[in-house]
A and B are shown apart, each in its own frame.
Chain A
């Protein structure tokens, strides 16, 4: 292992060597199990980092950031020189940060409830997201309102019940309600017997990963495609022990509409 230059291994992993040099080095490393393991580790780490979603500012955060910086530089009072005195007022970011997370969850759930008609600005959507509650049958998976906003989007909505969202009654259409009901039944079945989740073998790229990462607050959930009445659904989940499900979200595969969540 000591024969190999770590810089070249790192460059090979990053794909920054020219093809001939890369092929030659790869062949050399392949003959040395320890060096090959090092190269594999470098590649896996790099791939994990590159696959992780970058943090994005919400519109509200972006607006407040610019406003706060401009205020500290006195730009809100008109053009000034850079030598002007600077005072920094600490912005209470927490409400915006929480709202951004809730908004992300709402964006994933919006197609389900047709909420876009509630309003176009982020503030309205955020208010709705933070106030959202759903009504669920007692025998469904946990639907108790949870702290943090994300778990509030549990979706076991019985036919005829309308979720109350920020004081605005929203009635899901019968087709959507049936889809929710089917999904809820499928997910309840999976939770009772999760073997199918863990035994599922990937047959291609599974959709809705980005939405799942947001809702599960994890960059690396496990996915599966599961049959349900009248079609399929895509589920993404977290598990610590490889046999039980800690958290799960389910989507319509074609549209990535959010269908159900556990807990």
Chain B
């Protein structure tokens, strides 16, 4: 495991022995990234703070059951992503939508107007238009730069599915940003199995 993962494992041991400093060190090491993920997922600072708080409480409450098969950070981010799903669902946000069956061709005139526009729509708004499964894959892999294998563990899906979601998520994002005319997608989301 990495140095960070080793350090986290040692901190968890200290925390479980009642060392409050270990709690502070774990928070310091991970709070920014958890918050960044939550903010990108939820697009609302208040909601992201709430989700970040809930994530850490959940993780510390269950940390004695953390088996250490994966890095602590992987488990932490997985809890964060699931907390964001739950929160978005509770709030009835658009964030949690079923995966689309396919990408429909948009009106050609609208596309031309979009392509002609000098300024692109806001990236965050474009991200928000992605189905939640695609958005989380894009955020974890592209925004946070985590490896595919780690993303697969966080999202609880095979690596191939992560690849597919990142690919399609980027494509949808490019379309939303006005960089690509939508094309029928012959790939199924789970084509990698």
Chain B minimum-CB-distance residue to A70:
B23
| Stretch of B2-10, B43-51, B69-77, B104-112 on the interface side | B43-51
- Bound Cα distance A144, B148 (Å): 49
Is there a chain B Cβ closer than 8 Å to A206's Cβ?
A: no
B122: min CB distance to chain A, Å = 6
Which residues does chain B contribute within 8 Å of A50, judged by CB atoms?
Answer: 142-143
B18: min CB distance to chain A, Å = 3
Which positions 194-221 of chain A face chain B at CB distance < 8 Å?
A: 198, 218-220
Which positions 40-86 of chain B face chain A at CB distance < 8 Å?
A: 40, 45-46, 48-50, 52-54, 56-57, 60-64
| Stretch of B30-38, B91-99, B149-157 on the interface side | B30-38
Is there a chain B Cβ closer than 8 Å to A250's Cβ?
A: no
Whether the Cβ atoms of B171 and A242 lie closer than 8 Å is: no
Contact size class for B?
Answer: 35 or more
Whether the Cβ atoms of B32 and A56 lie closer than 8 Å is: yes
Whether the Cβ atoms of B119 and A242 lie closer than 8 Å is: yes
Main SS at interface, chain A: helix
Which residues does chain B contribute within 8 Å of A48, judged by CB atoms?
Answer: 120, 123, 126, 173, 177
Is there a chain A Cβ closer than 8 Å to B101's Cβ?
A: no
Contact partner of B123 among A66, A80, A91, A220, CB < 8 A? Answer: A220
Contact partner of B31 among A14, A65, A198, A218, CB < 8 A? Answer: A65
Which residues does chain B contribute within 8 Å of A66, judged by CB atoms?
Answer: 24, 27, 31
- Bound Cα distance A69, B170 (Å): 35
Is there a chain B Cβ closer than 8 Å to A179's Cβ?
A: no
Chain A minimum-CB-distance residue to B144:
A54
Which residues does chain A contribute within 8 Å of B29, judged by CB atoms?
Answer: none
Contact size class for A?
Answer: 35 or more
**CB-CB under 8 A for A97 and B170, given A54-B143, A69-B27:** no
A12-26 near B? 1/0 per residue, CB < 8 Å? 011000000000000
- Bound Cα distance A197, B107 (Å): 31
- Bound Cα distance A96, B54 (Å): 17
Chain A minimum-CB-distance residue to B122:
A218
- Bound Cα distance A22, B173 (Å): 23
A259: min CB distance to chain B, Å = 23
Main SS at interface, chain B: helix
Whether the Cβ atoms of A86 and B61 lie closer than 8 Å is: yes
A207: min CB distance to chain B, Å = 20
Whether the Cβ atoms of B180 and A10 lie closer than 8 Å is: no
Is there a chain A Cβ closer than 8 Å to B190's Cβ?
A: no
- Bound Cα distance A88, B56 (Å): 11
Is there a chain B Cβ closer than 8 Å to A2's Cβ?
A: yes
Which positions 135-193 of chain B face chain A at CB distance < 8 Å?
A: 138, 142-143, 160, 163-164, 166-167, 169-171, 173-175, 177, 179-181, 183, 186-187, 192
Whether the Cβ atoms of B16 and A82 lie closer than 8 Å is: yes
Is there a chain A Cβ closer than 8 Å to B103's Cβ?
A: no
Contact partner of A69 among B40, B60, B119, CB < 8 A? Answer: B60
Contact partner of B53 among A10, A68, A79, CB < 8 A? Answer: A68
B103: min CB distance to chain A, Å = 12
Whether the Cβ atoms of B123 and A219 lie closer than 8 Å is: yes
- Bound Cα distance A49, B40 (Å): 10
Which residues does chain B contribute within 8 Å of A222, judged by CB atoms?
Answer: 119
Binding site for B on A (CB under 8 A): 2, 6-7, 9-10, 13-14, 34, 37-38, 40-42, 44-46, 48-50, 52, 54-57, 61-62, 65-66, 68-70, 72-73, 75, 79-83, 86, 88, 90-91, 93-94, 96-97, 100-101, 198, 218-220, 222, 238-240, 242
Could you give 11 example pairs across A and B, Cβ below 8 Å?
A: A7-B167, A42-B167, A44-B180, A52-B123, A55-B35, A75-B23, A82-B60, A82-B61, A94-B46, A198-B118, A219-B123
